[in-house]
Amino acid sequence: MRKWFATYFGFSHRELNGICVLAVVLLLLWGIPRLLSFRSDETDGNLAARVAEIDRFLATAGIRTSPARGNVYSPTGEHNIPVPEISYFTFDPNELPVVDWKRLGLSERQVRMIKNYEAKGGRFRKKEDLAKIYAINDADYARLEPYIEIKAAKPARPVRQDKLADPHMAAAGEAGSGVQRTGPSAISMNQPPALHIDLNDADSLELQYLPGIGPVFASRIVRFRELLGGFHDVSQLMEVYGFDSVRFAALEKQVYVDTAKVQKIALNTADYQRFRDHPFINHKLANAIVQYRNQHGQYRAISDLLRIAIMDEQIFRKIAPYLTVVDD
């Protein structure tokens, strides 16, 4: 038996040394990952606690950037994303332009959810209402809250009493006085109140005086006006989401636009993002406008845009009223 064992299981001194070394290597390969995993779990727990503590400090200090990298910290675990420098100012969250929300450090997704809330007729009546927006986390609300100043709702612009007089009351008053008016000056029982509203100045409450315009459409008009920088023609109402020719025909004669209030983009100083934010300019055209300026120098006239290969006359006519070669 001993001879049989020695024949099949006997090892030389050199072979025994090799087996020992192999065993040590296998033991290290088995133990090191488990040791690292244990240390990693402990480190992650400490890191999460430190990150939470830093977030609380940054929120109270009004800072949203990571002190180490200068980037936005994402609590969802996403990579840090560089953002432009945040600037703070006193603001009313109701109908605040998109560009101002971005100046305050909000992302595209957060701004989109706020504007969707407004488009559905939502309104911020107190500071805490902003925190109820799903996309606004506690840290964002904590840094923005000191700057929120909600103004009282602006009363509707006064309109001549003869235009807004109730037909029933007018008829009753005239009957009581024994005076009966006839002819074109008489107020018809079925005639809607006559209005004359500037689309570039009216708020969502004033717009609801127009026939066929409720809170939703009023908010959509204001939002589209902010994205455009102002209406330059009444017919642009047709580009508001959901607007149709019947609704437009009912109010066309009751609205106008003051083109002096249109906010224009300076062709020779605006950057790519400024062009891209305009709803009539897509990313390819925005890049082409900037690249043409870099290659050929400053624009001397707005018509120089027609030299860009991807620019056609239809697009040019739409964007020309929003551009200027005079630097503000």
Residue ranges of the domains in the chain? 13-61, 98-147, 194-261, 265-324
Dihedral sign of CA atoms 158, 126, 92, 230 in order: negative
For 265-324, the fitting CATH number among 3.30.160.270, 3.40.50.300, 1.10.150.280, 3.40.50.920 is 1.10.150.280
Residue 309 has pLDDT above 80, yes or no: yes
Under 8 Å CB-to-CB from 105, ≥6 apart: which residues? 64, 72, 83, 86, 140, 143
pTM, two decimal places:
0.44
Handedness of CA 60, 64, 67, 68 (dihedral sign): positive
- Asked whether 77 and 36 are in contact (CB, 8 A), the reply is no
Note the pLDDT tens digit of each residue in 30-74.
Answer: 888 777 665 555 555 555 566 566 655 555 554 444 443 344 444
For residues 134-151, give the mean pLDDT: 88
Same fold yes or no, 194-261 and 265-324: yes
Distance CA 160, CA 257 (A): 20
Angstrom distance (rounded) from CA 219 to CA 96: 12
Above 90 in pLDDT, residue 289?
yes
Q: What is the mean pLDDT of the chain?
A: 76
Q: Is 200 helix (H, G, I), strand (E, B) or coil?
A: coil
DSSP string, 62-100: T--B-TTTSSBPPTTSPPPB--PPP----B--TT--HHH
> Of 71-80, 244-253, 260-269, which range is least confident?
71-80
Mean pLDDT over 152-160 rounds to 52
Cβ-proximal residues to 212 (8 Å cutoff; 6+ apart), any chain: 246, 247, 250, 251
Burial of residue 10 (CB within 10 Å: 0-12, 13-18, 19+) is exposed
Mean pLDDT (whole number) for 215-235: 92
Q: What does R_g of the chain's alpha carbons equal in angstroms?
A: 34
Residue 154 CB-half CA count within 13 A: 13
What is the pLDDT confidence band of residue 189, given thresholds at 50, 70 and 90?
Answer: very low
Instruction: Please give the CATH number for the structural domain made up of 194-261.
Output: 1.10.150.320
Inform me whether the pLDDT recorded for 285 exceeds 90: yes
Q: Is the dihedral of CA 182, 183, 187, 190 positive or negative?
A: positive
Name which of 31-40, 219-228, 303-312 the model is least confident about.
Answer: 31-40
